[in-house]
Amino acid sequence: MAASDVSTDSTHEKRAPGASRLAFDRSGRGEPLVLLHGQGFSRRSWDPVIPLLAEHRDVINVDLPGHGESPRQPKGTGSAPHDLAVAVAELMDELGLPTAHIAGNSSGGWVALELGRLQRARSVTAISPAGLWRRRAPRHIGLGMRQARLNARIVHRLFPHAPKTRLTRALAASQVSGHPFQVPYGPARDTIAAMAEAPGFRETLRALVKTRFTGGADITVPVTVAFGTRDRVLLPLVSRRRKELPPQTRWVKLRGLGHVPMFDDPGTTAELVLSMKG
């Protein structure tokens, strides 16, 4: 096993100022695993499963360009999922990782598939991945994301520490969780803050909805695509086409889970990610 395959310790590491363009946390030891969040979210969306994953993997949890603590894409650089994948590949180069296991949620799942196309993945786990639509995103996705952004900005400005009650958390998480009344305070608060503050939200969403994932035949490593049976964002008839996925793709149903299953069942989500071998 190459030296870059195993981290040297199990303590948390964060990006040093000016050291990398993308913000990230790193923890655990084992084979490298890169985690990618969805549109309008941040790396905090993976927090519920990090302790479980770090027991077995060297986990690099990344803020995609224009989200969380990562700046927008440089001027003249695109913001489509392929462009974001190139940015993540550059971070992997900085960390001395030619390849890693890649797991992504929602638009991060699409970015994970793109990293597979770039030959930077040992395996790909795409959880509720965007991009599996016919030509461009169904209209309700763009409209829903823009409404979620507006709602988050209003709530975050008026009530920066919301939502503290089970009812307000359920309202905030109703679209992304299969069990919104069970979402803990921390993930709900972080989701609202990330959605409200993402500096690159507009350009990444604009690029996301205009295209779709293609070229999956270029991916040669194991691929798992998983959707929760309570996913209310990416509906089966319009957002889950298999045509562009590589022939070795494994399709998994996550019973009772929503669009962001890390919130609903961290254990099942971690098992899914750790089941991938490359």
Catalytic residue among 37, 82, 101, 259: 259
The verdict on whether 259 is a catalytic residue reads yes
Q: Which residue has the tokens 């929760």?
A: 228
- In 3-state terms, what secondary structure has residue 135? coil
In total, the chain counts a number of residues equal to 278
Q: Which of 139, 137, 120 is nearest to 129 (CA)?
A: 137
Catalytic residue among 47, 231, 264, 265: 231
Distance CA 183, CA 161 (A): 15
Q: Burial level of 232, CB count in 10 A (0-12/13-18/19+)? A: middle
Distance CA 136, CA 198 (A): 23
Half-sphere exposure of 86 (CA within 13 A, CB side): 8
Distance CA 138, CA 151 (A): 21
Q: Tell me how crowded residue 237 is: count the other CB atoms within 10 A of its CB.
A: 7
Please enumerate in sequence order all residues whose Cβ is within 8 A of that of 148, keeping only pairs 6 or more positions apart, or say none: 40, 175, 195
Q: Tell me how crowded residue 13 is: count the other CB atoms within 10 A of its CB.
A: 13
Distance CA 126, CA 114 (A): 10
Catalytic residue among 27, 42, 45, 106: 106
The verdict on whether 106 is a catalytic residue reads yes
Report the sign of the C-alpha dihedral through residues 223, 87, 105, 144, in that order: negative
Active site amino acids? 106, 231, 259
